[in-house]
Each structure stands twice: as structure tokens, then as C-alpha cells.
């Protein structure tokens, strides 16, 4: 199953006990996210280190794994969908995620309930994904 992953789900990947990490590692999921997401993770590095009690070495190892599990897509590969995505997305900050979902015609993985307030892109929570994957 192909999914677009929003940044908050990516953050939870750093929590060794998170269901999001468990799901992310399933071989039948194909995960994509805008390339800028990896930059957001770097910007919030100190917060992630503190929140999940990680060392720098652990952070780097998990970040490297994340880059293997998730394909990070440059904006030029989905820019033609941004105009429509801006109309569809309930939150302008999530337009890039919606653009990728439109490009690949696949769901968006997010815990943000506001993003479900539209009918163009299916938005799945971690719980819903777990039910779909029978976990």
C-alpha cells in the first residue's frame, strides 16, 4: 500500500515504542513524503533527542533508517499538483502532502483530524492503518 506520510508521523518514528514505527517497517507499505520533511526533522533534532531520550548516535542511526524506509520526493516532482492541493487541504501547511497524495492517488497518513475535513484525499490515522494491516 502506497502512503504519503506527514511530518508528525515521521517524528514518531524516533520513538522505539511507537506503532507508527512498527507500521513503517512493514514491507507491504510504500512510504513517501516531501523532501522538506527531512529538513524539518533536522530543525527539531534537539526536541526529538529530549522527547525520546536519544543520543546523537541513536538519532543519526534512526534518521538513516528513516531515509531507507521513506522515499523523500523533491517539490519539482509534484509541483503540478500544488495548485489543486492548496484548494483541497484544510491546512495550507499541509498542501505539499496533499499534492503528493494527489500525484500518487493514495492516502495520507496523519493523526491530524482536521485533514479529514475534505473528500478528495483519504486520510488514515495510525489506528486505522493498524486495522487495515491486521495488527
pLDDT tens by residue, 17-57: 999 999 998 999 999 999 999 999 999 999 999 999 999 99
Domain span at residue 114? 2-132
Q: How many helices (H) and strands (E) does the chain have?
A: 8, 5
pLDDT tens by residue, 77-135: 999 999 999 999 999 999 999 999 999 999 999 999 999 999 999 999 999 999 987 65
Cα(59)–Cα(39) distance, rounded to whole angstroms? 14
CATH for 12: 3.40.50.1010
Q: How many domains, in total, are found in the chain?
A: 1
**Residue 118, CB half-sphere, CA atoms under 13 Å: how many?**
22
Amino acid at each position: 500500500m502506497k502512503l504519503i506520510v506527514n511530518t508528525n508521523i515521521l517524528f514518531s518514528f524516533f520513538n522505539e515504542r511507537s506503532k507508527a514505527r512498527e507500521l513503517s517497517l512493514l514491507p507491504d507499505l510504500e512510504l513517501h513524503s516531501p523532501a522538506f520533511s527531512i529538513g524539518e526533522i533536522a530543525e527539531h533534532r534537539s526536541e526529538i533527542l529530549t522527547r525520546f531520550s536519544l543520543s546523537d548516535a541513536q538519532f543519526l542511526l534512526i534518521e538513516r533508517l528513516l531515509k531507507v524506509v521513506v522515499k523523500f520526493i523533491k517539490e519539482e516532482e509534484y509541483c503540478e499538483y500544488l495548485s489543486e492541493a492548496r484548494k483541497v487541504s484544510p491546512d495550507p501547511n499541509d498542501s505539499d502532502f496533499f499534492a503528493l497524495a494527489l500525484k500518487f492517488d493514495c492516502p495520507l497518513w496523519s493523526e491530524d483530524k482536521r485533514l479529514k475535513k475534505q473528500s478528495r484525499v483519504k486520510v488514515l490515522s495510525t489506528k486505522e492503518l493498524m486495522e487495515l494491516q491486521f495488527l
